[in-house]
Chain A
Amino acid sequence: MAPVPADRHRVSSRATNRLKIAAEIAVPLAILGGWQLWTVHAHSQFFPRLSTILVTFRKMWLFSQFGEHVVPSLERIGLGFGIAVLAGVLLGIPLGLSRWGYLLAMPHIEYWRAIPPPALLPISVVLLHSIGNTQKISFIAFFCLFPVLLNTIDGVRSIDPTLVDTARSYGVRGLARIRRIVLPAALPQIAAGMRNSLSLAVIMMVLSEYFSSTSGVGYVLLISKNTFQLAPMWAAILLIGLLGYVLNVLFILAERRVLAWHRGWRAATA
């Protein structure tokens, strides 16, 4: 964005600013309106009216099937994500501190990170003899591990050497060093990894439930597709989209609170 040259544009810049705000509100509304108009005219069986989708959405998710399908999905996301974060940080700190550990672990991390996750879906079913929560949660946790793990390793490895030396000269050692120096310094990057993991968790939840399950939002998606119930299918797509969006927003809000000290510190040193 080029800086607006002073005074010559001051009058018009206020007007453009208003125009921009108007566009920010008007364009999404226009898109929704256009969608509704198009679906009314198209009469396509695959694209039900937006209003129909919204009515179905309210009927299904607020809240008659919420407990039956949304709660299990949220539970799987929560547990899978939680396990991944815990494991990623616990593994990532030693691997980030030890050069040899890093060297030995890297080929494995690189392979598992590069494999498309769905390739392991059938294997997870075969290995765990389950299409229930165990399999879903393990699958989600396994692939959510990598963003947290890699970011933890990277965050630990890039700690300011002055900080490490200062801590050492003050005799901060062992667990205290990890808890008071390493973890806080790596936290902003761990948080960035966690955010990627969280959006990954939603995708993994949908994939694993769509592949084989008896409950969950992904299951509803599959069943409504198989029975040609287009409005419920669209309602499920909308719910998954909302879920991805809302979880992301909630995470950013939480991150802002937890990492407020980091922002302040960065602003002060910048």
Chain B
Amino acid sequence: MPGLGDAATATTVESPADQGVERAGPGIARVGQIGAVLLSVAAALAVWELVSRTGLIAERDLPSMSSSFRELWSLVQTTSFWGAFAQTVRGWALGLAVAIALAVPIGILLGSSDFAARALRVPIEFLRPIPSAALIPLLFLTLGTTLRSEVFLAAFGAFWPLLVQTMYGVRDVDPLAIDTARSFGVGRFERLYRIKLPSAVPYIATGVRISSAVSLILAFTAELFMGIPGLGQKVNFAQAYGLNDQLYAYALATGFLGVAIHLVSSAAERRALRWHPSQRTATA
């Protein structure tokens, strides 16, 4: 089925222009919006408290909101919490770094050489949809419960979205710009460096944002399933010992880490795209 694979990758590519940035109006409207958001969060927390307190779900299964946050508060005063937190962040960062170091150069190569792209199309199309989770037992047996396993898993998962984004970014370059450069005698390397790369940067930035979320998920997964030290291992222990307060507290903390990483990578993406039309706001 020729072309099917191409379509498969084409539709997953997030064009940087998809990022519709909400700009709220100034003044009162903005305050009202923030108030509504805060109110909505407060309401959800209150519902959680009520569901547990009234016994709609037994407190043994769902500790109340207040006791979960109290548990989290006492956890954040321990060094063991911050140790696990730092280990998860380290796994995320190393996994993402390895993925960037491999996916960007390979993506540039495959994006600029039609021959290389065709030669590797089938292996890539086959490897890309493989759920990285399937590799956990293999890593467990070969690399063991080490940081290397965690980084490998995180990097493997984060590699594919970034590779595809980079490839399409390099291909999406304006042919007119390339032809113009060529007719001015700009060499192959300089064309890559001065034209193809800058025009691919928005795609790469979007790819890094997607990959950063994937890297965190897989770093945590490795810790939970293989017992590598970190937040995932803490969650595993809490469940094994039936410490439900701790289980919920660690899950909350993991969620906050996820939100923090999402905010950081979105901000980094916007920064990399400052000059791009999708980020311009109307000045009317």
Contact = CB atoms under 8 A, between A and B. Distances in A.
B118 to A, nearest CB: 4
Contacts of B220: 116, 118-119
Contacts of B115: 16, 19-20, 23
Nearest to B262: A114
Interface stretch (B101-109, B126-134, B198-206): B126-134
Contact of A122 (B8, B12, B134, B247): B247
Interface stretch (A89-97, A159-167, A220-228): A220-228
Nearest to B255: A115
B254 A240 contact: no
A65 to B, nearest CB: 17
Nearest to B261: A114
Given A107-B40, A116-B258, A27 B123 contact: yes
Interface string B4-21: 100110011000000010
Nearest to A206: B133
A16 B248 CA distance: 59
Given A23-B118, A24-B122, A195-B11, A114 B213 contact: yes
A108 B44 contact: yes
Contacts of A114: 213, 255, 258-259, 261-262
Contacts of B232: 118-119
A57 B82 CA distance: 44
Interface residues of B, number: 70
Interface stretch (B71-79, B138-146, B270-278): B138-146
Q: Size range of the interface on A? A: 35 or more
Q: Which of A123, A192, A199, A211 has the most CB of B within 10 A?
A: A123
Contacts of A112: 255
A241 interface: yes
A202 B130 CA distance: 9
B37 A24 contact: no
Contacts of A221: 134, 136-137
A234 B221 CA distance: 20
A105 B142 CA distance: 44
A254 interface: no
- 8 nearest CB pairs, A to B: A225-B137, A114-B258, A122-B239, A115-B255, A23-B119, A244-B129, A203-B131, A241-B130
25 contacts: A2-B182, A16-B115, A20-B118, A24-B119, A26-B119, A28-B123, A46-B141, A104-B36, A116-B254, A119-B235, A121-B224, A122-B251, A123-B247, A157-B20, A195-B11, A203-B132, A210-B136, A210-B137, A210-B225, A211-B224, A225-B141, A240-B131, A240-B134, A248-B129, A249-B4
Given A122-B236, A196-B12, 5 more contacts: A46-B138, A116-B254, A210-B136, A249-B1, A252-B4
